Amino acid sequence: MEIDKIPETISETYIFPSPIYRIENPAGVNREDMENVCGEIKELDGGRTYTNRHGWQSNDLIDLDYNRSLIDTLFDTCIDVSKTISKNTGVSSSYNHSIGASWININDKEGDYNISHCHPGSYLSFVYYVKCREDSGDIVFCDPRIGHAANMLNYDRLTEVNAIEMNITPNQGELIAFPGWLYHYVTQNMSSETRISIAVNTVLR
């Protein structure tokens, strides 16, 4: 991050980061076919209410009886990314990476959203954006630093250093990954279009 006019005698070190990883159009994942599969699963699954407020959320895809071949391509991609990130961040190579849970979110009406939550027990959490547009809902990440929320200072501009929340507007066909412990929520769908995403958790054992 560029900061204006820092004296040469002052050095910066950033500790305890909350990394966010973005993969545009991951290889092997066909977005249009995935959209069709999500619609088929919705017809078979009564869904559940968990983090979703309005809209529809599937039960765990691992437990559902459906043609898994297409969803498995997404699972394979998430495992590959999980392995790469763990290697690059110094995690022991002795762990086995597997899928812990996965579900579909469909916010199909204006005003649908998802409340703040994290994914306990997961190493990385992924969201694949099957269908979305700029106004169909951002993913918002919450500052995990406990004491920072009590900081009552006013800021001329918000950055990743001083903000207590950071919005990311996802792109259609994008895969976003983040630590499972990082709290996040989804803003309201303000469009007339359906917003479809698939959440995937990887676990290390």
Tally of structural domains, the chain = 1
71 lies in some domain: yes
pLDDT over 70, % of the chain: 97
16 lies in some domain: no
Q: What is residue 48's DSSP assignment?
A: B
Least confident segment among 35-39, 147-151, 169-173? 147-151
17 lies in some domain: no
3-class SS at 73? helix
Task: Give the amino acid at 151.
Answer: N
18 lies in some domain: no
pLDDT tens column, 66-118: 888 999 999 999 999 999 999 999 999 999 999 999 999 999 888 999 999 99
- With a threshold of 0.85, does the pTM exceed it? yes
Question: Residue range 32-38: average pLDDT?
Answer: 96
Q: Is the pLDDT of residue 5 over 90?
A: no
132-169 core/surface letters (b: 16 or more CB in 10 A; e: else): bbebbbbbbbbbeeeeeeeeeeeeeeeeeeeeeebebe
Contact by Cβ (8 Å): 127, 164: no
Task: Give the amino acid at 2.
Answer: E
Q: Any idea what the CATH number is for the domain that residue 179 is in?
A: 2.60.120.620
Q: Which domain holds residue 151?
A: 27-204
Q: Is the pLDDT of residue 58 over 90?
A: yes
Nearest residue to 33 (alpha-carbon basis) of 74, 65, 64: 74
Q: Alpha helix (H) ranges present in the chain?
A: 31-44, 69-88
89 lies in some domain: yes
5 lies in some domain: no
6 lies in some domain: no
